[in-house]
Amino acid sequence: MAKKKIVAQADLARIETVIAEYQNERWALLPLLERIQQEFGFIPPSSIGLIAKGLRLFPAQVQGVITFYAQLYTTPRGKNIVRVCRGTACHVRGGKTILKLVKRHLGIQEGEITPDFEYSLETVACIGCCALAPNMVINRNIYGRMNPKKVALIFGQHGRQ
């Protein structure tokens, strides 16, 4: 617990430097939030006040933008982000079953993190690789033409199940 706090403090200092870079840019809020998330994996709620101050906005405005966009997170995510595509082509080719199986393999629901912070499970509306449907993405690797056996094998490789 104590360790976590120290990290959080160091983060805030770093976040302040990042904010400074964007202070004079026009319409900087979204790019800044994306940058913070890129660096820390999520946007620490404690940084919202700093961001608002830096960009001369109300904290509610910052909070409003964060909650509006699905890809902005205020909680940490797993080390590996597993995203199962729920696009039309994937749906038509059985993406629903793939999601069900991945949930079973990881033991979590979508939007959740495994207790060891190893995996986050998310769904995505479409990754645009419809020809390979059904698809799954782990971090930046796309796994196409998924089937139940592949799910078992992939999570076997990733040291689970």
Partner 1 sequence: MVEEKATVSTNGQHTILVCRGSGCPGSDEILRRLEEKVTQNGLPVEVKPTGCHGFCQAGPTVIVEPEDVFYCHVSVDDIDEIIQKHLCAHEVVNRLLYIDPVTGQAVPHYSDINFYKKQERVVLRNCGHINPERIDDYLARGGYLSLRKVLFQMTPGQVIEEIKKAGLRGRGGAGFPTAVKWELCRNAPGSPKYMICNADEGDPGAFMDRCILEADPHSVLEGLIIAAYAIGASGGYVYCRAEKPLAIERLKIALRQVKEHGLTGDNILGSGFSLQLDLREGAGAFVCGEETALMMSIEGRRGMPRPRPPFPAQSGLDGKPTIINNVKTLATVPIIIDRGADWYAGIGTEKSKGTVVFALTGKIANSGLVEVPMGTPLSKVIFDIGGGIPRGKRFKAVQTGGPSGGCIPARFMDSPVDYESLTKLGSIMGSGGMVVMDDATCMVDIARFFLNFTQAESCGKCVPCRLGTRQMLEILTRITEGKGRESDIETLLNIAKTVKECSLCGLGQTCPNPVLTTLAYFRDEYEAHIKEKKCPAAVCDALMISPCQHTCPVGINIPKYVAHIAAGEYLEAVETIRERNPFPAICGRICHHPCEGKCRRGELDEPVAIRGLKRFAADWYFEHIGELPEPEPFPQTHSQKVAVVGAGPCGLSCAYFLAQMGYPATVFEALPVGGGMLSVAIPDFRLPREVIQREIDYIAKRGVEIRYSTPIDVNFTVEGLRKNGFEAVFIAAGAQRSQRIGIPGELEDLEGFYYGLRFLRDVKVGKSVRIGRRVAVVGGGNVALDSSRTALRLGADEVSIFYRRSREEMPVTEVEYNEALAEGVQVNFLVSPTRIVSDKWKIAGLQCTHMRLGEPDDSGRRRPVPVSGSEFFADADTVIAAVGQAPDLSFLPPDSALERTRWERLVVDDNRLATNVPGVFAGGDFVFGPGMVVEAIAAGRRGAIAIDKYLKGDTSRVEIYDLKPGIIEEVISREEEETWEPQFRPEISRLPVEERKQSFKETELAFSEERARQEAKRCLRCDLEK
Interface with partner 1 in residues 83-112 (CB under 8 A): 86-94, 96-97, 100
Interface with partner 1 in residues 3-42 (CB under 8 A): 27-31, 33-34
Task: Please identify, using beta-carbon distances, which residue of 4 and 149 lies nearer to partner 1.
Answer: 149
State yes or no: residue 129 binds partner 1 (CB under 8 A): yes
State yes or no: residue 147 binds partner 1 (CB under 8 A): yes
State yes or no: residue 124 binds partner 1 (CB under 8 A): yes
> b or e along 58-93 (b: 16 or more beta carbons within 10 Å of the residue's beta carbon)?
eeeebbeebeeeeebbeeebbebbbbbbbbebbeeb
Cα–Cα distance measured from residue 87 to residue 103, given in angstroms and rounded to the nearest whole number: 18
Q: Give CA separation, 104 vs 60, 61, 67, 146, in Å.
A: 38, 38, 28, 15
Cα–Cα distance measured from residue 62 to residue 104, given in angstroms and rounded to the nearest whole number: 36
Q: Closest distance between partner 1 and the C-beta of residue 42, in Å?
A: 13
Contact footprint for partner 1 (CB under 8 A): 27-31, 33-34, 61, 64-65, 68-72, 86-94, 96-97, 100, 124-133, 140-144, 147-150, 152-153
